Amino acid sequence: MPVFRCALKAFSVSLLFLSMTVVPSAQEIATLKKQAENGDAKAQYHLGIIYFNGQGVDKNYTQAFGWTYKAAQQGLPGAENLLGILYGEGAGVPASYQDALRWWHKAAEKGEIGAELNLGQAYYDGKNGDTDYVEALNWWRKAADQGDAQAALNVGLMYRNGQGVTKDTDEARRWYRMAADRGSDEAMCKLGFSYWIAPKPDYVESMRWYRLAADKGNTQAMFSIGEFYQYGHGVTQDLDLALHWYDLAAAKGNTMAMDEIGDMYYEGEGIPQDFTESLRWRRKSAEFGDESAMRSLGEMYRDGKGVSRNYGEAYFWMNVSLARTEWFQGCDDDDDYCRELGRKFQDEAHKERDALAAKLSPRELQQLQQRSREWAKAHPATHQ
């Protein structure tokens, strides 16, 4: 399986959603309401969180906004941050990113880490105008300086991609390590990947970081360890161990691991060849949203492997695969090999789908295209 499917660069933080660690009892909520009605800002803020999350009460964004606004008016930073979230989401109030930014700025200027994270994401995404990487980096640095692991990871990613700063892979790795030292399994995974794709790969160091991430439950790291054993990267090739790590990742929902297991059954690699079992794993991966598995599933229907030949089903799976994304979307910006390989796969898939279309009637094509649109709507794209 091509390495480019491991090269992820998406930022994890969108909006910082808050929660209380213990669901409050009815008596505790009644006490909070009494305190809040008497003007206690912390009680008002806690009620806002409770209604926002539906903890011990029915979720009610109008109530969440009302109580949070009262607390924010008293200058409570956490409430100001939550108010920004409510405005940004249009929860209990008409959506307004201008108001969201205004309240996040108020909270961030008081050192509220959540607001700094949200400001960074807002500027990165260009939610209220043009993307501003410099400003995003500024706010994420502030949060990282206060010890936030996700912010440190985001700064590292910006150095890796040259966004708002001169590209510097060494500096990116330094920030990844900072985030990893604070417990970020995603940063550990990024470190593993950075040592893997270095001009002179350090497979030992890469495996060390992947194992640390896997120990914390990171399925991407589990999948990558499986690849190391499958292809013998810095370790003795061991297909049994490869399958073991893929199984671990697949059990936790990693679609790439599911697809890889399907590939191993298809090829008879380390296990007896079994097209039916291959089809099962590829279907499972495809239904969870893996574009590569969708294409492979289409090819099995086309070729009658593990299932009766069905050109309509083959076209459907090829079509939904191509409709979801560019296959090189997950590549790092400067990874030309990854992008070239992704474009090649995409071009091949287009040709395969178009060849299938020639075998179908106009009516069949129309029905399959409508089915594809309905499937895509019900299965929004997600990338691991």
Containing 264, the helix (H) or strand (E) segment is: helix 255-267
Residue 172 lies in a domain: no
Boundary (domain end) residue, out of 104, 131, 158: 131
Return the half-sphere exposure (C-beta side, CA atoms, 13 A cut-off) of residue 196: 25
Residue 250 lies in a domain: no
Cα separation, 15 vs 321, whole angstroms: 29
Residue 215 lies in a domain: no
Q: Domain of residue 329: give its range.
A: 289-384
Residue 63 lies in a domain: yes
Computed over every residue of the chain, the mean pLDDT equals 90
What would the pLDDT profile of 76-89 be if each residue is shown by its tens digit? 999 999 999 999 99
Cα separation, 114 vs 313, whole angstroms: 46
What would the pLDDT profile of 209-260 be if each residue is shown by its tens digit? 999 999 999 999 999 999 999 999 999 999 999 999 999 999 999 999 999 9
Burial class of residue 238 (count of CB atoms within 10 Å of its CB; 0-12, 13-18, 19+): middle
Cα-based distances in Å from 198 to 173, 273, 317, 349, 374: 11, 35, 35, 30, 42
- pLDDT at 196 (0 to 100): 93
Stated pTM of the model: 0.84
- DSSP H helices in 109-168: 113-125, 133-145, 149-161
Residue 258 lies in a domain: no
Boundary (domain end) residue, out of 116, 131, 146: 131
Cα separation, 109 vs 127, whole angstroms: 20
- pLDDT at 55 (0 to 100): 92
Residue 356 lies in a domain: yes
Please state which of the ranges 16-20, 324-328, 366-370 shows the lowest mean pLDDT. 16-20
pLDDT classification of 348: cutoffs 50, 70, 90: confident
Domain count, the chain: 2
pLDDT classification of 326: cutoffs 50, 70, 90: low
- pLDDT at 381 (0 to 100): 63
CB 182 within 8 A of CB 149: yes
Cα separation, 57 vs 332, whole angstroms: 44
- pLDDT exceeds 60 at position 330: no
Report the CATH number that the domain containing residue 62 is assigned in CATH. Answer: 1.25.40.10
For the segment 147-154, the average pLDDT, to the nearest whole number, is: 97
- pLDDT exceeds 90 at position 175: yes
Residue 243 lies in a domain: no
Q: How much of the chain exceeds pLDDT 90, in percent? A: 81
Boundary (domain end) residue, out of 110, 131, 152: 131
DSSP letter for each residue of 27-65: HHHHHHHHHHHTT-HHHHHHHHHHHHHTSSS---HHHHH
Residue 182 lies in a domain: no
